[in-house]
Structure formats: structure tokens, C-alpha cells
Amino acid sequence: MMQPILQSSCALATSRAEARFRIDAPIAGRRGARVVALDDGAATLVRRLARAPWNGARFFTLVAGGPDPGGPDMPLHTTTGRSTRLDVELAEADVAVMVATTGSSGTAASIIGRACAHRGIMTAGVVLGEHSLVADTVNALRPHAQVLLVSRDEEDVAEVLSAIRA
């Protein structure tokens, strides 16, 4: 036996009085998502993700063998190879997503995490790999990411970015 649909249970069946409170504007995307690959394995994925259409997200890799990354002026590369600095990129950021695999140390995550905390920017970490192999990476990121996802599936990074409207 089918149960009747109540008027309030269907958005299309709202009364004229209720409809005036409906917001039909699309939800705005984030203006300042920054995605940083913390190791070579993550850099490959971040470069691939950067080619997709996003709502203003910017994608970066760490500078190998660059100057001492001891502060917020840590050098970064865009996925097209342009040089920039962490402090410049965080100036208009509202979220920083750190992507890592088994090859990440906590140094860059610590610098990014502290710089974001100082500016009130939300941090997230996505660690990719077999759970038994990424334990050290998870432990290195845990203190510096307000949200931490451990996954074996690279598509989860794109899903996280979509969910935060990067």
C-alpha cells in the first residue's frame, strides 16, 4: 500500500507562502582552496587534478632541494612550474588541503599547518596508500590537519575537493 506524500515532504509541493523562503541561488564555491602535494607520489596526482575545472582552487608541489623551508615563506611550485611562496598563496586562502603518500615527512605539513593556524585557515589532509604503509605519514600529518582522510583510492582526493567546492 502506498502512503500519500505529505505536502511538506516535497520541495515542489510547497505552498506559495512556503516557497517565498526558498533560496534558489546556487551555493557559491570557495574562493581560496590551496592544494599542496607533500611528496613525489602526491605531486603526480595533484598535477593531474589541476587539469580539471575547479572553483578557483590552486595546486602546488614542494620545491625539491630548495631553500630551507623553515617558515611561512616556504617555496612552492605551481603545477605549471611557476615559483611562488606559501605566505603569498595563503593570503587569500580559506582552506589548505595537504595530499600525501608514503613518502611524506612531517616538516612541510608542520610549516603549512602552523601558517594556516596563524591565519585561521582550515586544514585538511588526505593520505593515500595501503593503511599498513602510511602509518608514519598519518602520524606526521595528524597534528597539522583538522580533517584527515586515509584512503587507498586516488579518486577520493577529487571527491574531497568537490565536497568543499574547491
Percent of the chain with pLDDT over 90: 64
**pLDDT over threshold 50, residue 67:** no
pLDDT in tens, 30-39: 568 999 999 9
Instruction: Give residue 102's Cα distance to chain centre.
Output: 18
Q: With 0.75 as the threshold, say if the pTM is over it.
A: yes
How far is residue 128 from each of residues 31, 62, 102, 122, 156, measured CA to CA in Å?
A: 26, 17, 7, 20, 9
Question: What does the alpha-carbon distance between residue 128 and residue 137 come to, in Å, rounded to a whole number?
Answer: 9
Q: Which single residue is written with the C-alpha cell 595563503?
A: 90
- CA 141 to CA 108: how far, in whole Å? 9
Tell me: pLDDT of 111 over 90. Answer: yes
Mean of pLDDT values over 50-60: 94
Which whole number is the average pLDDT over 100-120? 90
What's the pLDDT at 10? 56
Q: What's residue 114's pLDDT? A: 94
Which domains, ranges and CATH numbers included, belong to the chain? 27-163 (3.40.50.1440)
